[in-house]
Amino acid sequence: MSKGWIAAAATGLSLAVAGSASPAATSSRQDVTIKMSDGVSLAATLFEPAGSPPAGGWPAVILMHGLGGDRSSMNALAGAMGLVGDQYVVLTFDARGHGASGGLIGIDGPRETADVREVFDWLAARQEVARTKIGAFGISYGGAAALNSLVAGVPWATVEVAETWTDLYSALAAGRLPKSGIVGGFLAELPPGKLDPSLIPIRDDAFADKNLGAVRSWAAARSSLSRLHGKRTPAFFMQGRRDFAFGIDQAARGYALLAGPKRLWIGNHGHPPSTFPAADTPKMLVEGKKWFDRFLRGVKNGIDRSKPVTVAAEDSARVERFPALPRTVVLRGTTGGRSTIIRAGTVVRSLGRTRTAVEVFGSPKVRVDGTALAGWSRLVAVLSARTPSGSQVIVADGGTSTRPGRRMYAFGLQSQATFVPKGSRLTLTLGASSTAQSPSNLVYLDLPMPAGARLEVGTATVELPTLARPVTR
């Protein structure tokens, strides 16, 4: 998540939902420094209500920013949500290696989890704060920090996370093929010289598609999914419909494991190709404020009793509510023939036209009969739709590493929600990168392979999960 992107987002949100509080009149602000146990200092901003605290202290919220960002975006977001004012103590901080904080970036590793615990303890130790009523809000990198600290035992009263991951390996290396363009884009957002040197070999292995066992272990130390089962802490997941970094599954799988009060909003915000804010974001953040009010202030506003799953219509503020994830039906298509791919070449298979409007929801599954020759090492599939108006929509990408000889390759594409109008032509593009489908599709880059490498492609099958009743009209 880029600093400029989230800064622009926060500005838009201020315009969209501000007005629920008057921060200047009802709160004070001070910049502080919080020293970590290893000597690194984190820069932070503390907002406190101007009046006397209630018995037991004020409830509080700690907000955590995205990779490459800083606390300024969270300051704006806290104001937009109505958290800064006369009801909450609010703390934002620059994560290690970001903004005005010291240290090096470990990509939400154990040291960052320790930082979150120490920031929590610093705030909880303040006399005016109720230690048992501290909540977390994190976006992307900050969302993972919130979840990782939760499963590590930080006693959050509630957590809210947006467009983040619960299993970093499956998010960025699904099908045993790292999303080189996504990974490279994230790393490019980091300040020069701020990446912990121990992560350089992991980065290089991910790009070279080797030593993936080490990459998986590294990612596991930065993932919460395996430890979320049975957690009773109230949690609100806010995930994007079309987020090609962190798909719907990253939130849905975590949501399914929780045993306490929980909520899931699937909206139009997210990493590219989505934006933040989106049409439904103001509604989503209103519910986020209500969630904090319910579980930090004890306000009986009914948010925990309403249907817990919300799905926004594509590029719209309209939403539908469900008691659980909406029901899907699977459409199948098979293409035959035999073709050969070399280097930047592609094989494009038509899956026909849609007879009705469909709303893809979840991860399409692809099976390809392929023969890798002369060192060919990967297979990337891009599912796209050409609408009746002539526009092209990339539905989802996915990939897998290949091995010598003939094999049947089965892998999933991104978990997303994409509306496909009636009469659209669906195509499956197979190649060595997503850029082979379109130069602007940067999910999987065209990394080197031996001269003469090629892939013979036979039958290809696609299973397409679609909403039984589309939300988008």
The label of the residue with tokens 């929980």 reads 262
3-state SS of 330-362?
EEEEEECCCEEEECCCCEEEEEEECCCCEEEEE
**What is the pTM assigned to this prediction?**
0.95
Q: For each of the chain's 473 residues, which pLDDT tens digit applies? A: 444 334 433 334 443 443 344 444 589 999 999 999 999 999 999 999 998 999 999 999 999 999 999 999 999 999 999 999 999 999 999 999 999 999 999 999 999 999 999 999 999 999 999 999 999 999 999 999 999 999 999 999 999 999 999 999 999 988 889 999 999 999 888 878 999 999 999 988 888 778 888 999 999 999 999 999 999 999 999 999 999 999 999 999 999 999 999 999 999 999 999 998 999 999 999 999 999 999 999 999 999 999 999 999 999 999 999 999 999 999 999 999 999 999 889 999 999 999 999 999 999 999 999 999 999 999 999 999 999 999 999 999 999 999 999 999 999 999 999 999 999 999 999 999 999 999 999 999 999 999 999 999 999 999 999 999 999 99
Residue 363 corresponds to which tokens in the numbers above?
Answer: 């991860």
223 burial (CB, 10 Å; 0-12 / 13-18 / 19+) is buried
Structure letter (DSSP) for residue 225: G
Domains of the chain and CATH, by start: 3-322 (3.40.50.1820), 328-467 (2.60.120.260)
Q: How far is CA 210 from CA 43, 51, 213, 444, in A?
A: 37, 58, 8, 16
Task: Give the per-residue pLDDT at 7.
Answer: 41
262 burial (CB, 10 Å; 0-12 / 13-18 / 19+) is buried
| One-character DSSP codes across 295-322 | HHS----STTTS-SEEEEPTTSS-EEEE
Do the Cβ atoms of 447 and 433 come closer than 8 Å?
Answer: yes
Residue 175 corresponds to which tokens in the numbers above?
Answer: 């099908």
Do the Cβ atoms of 359 and 472 come closer than 8 Å?
Answer: yes
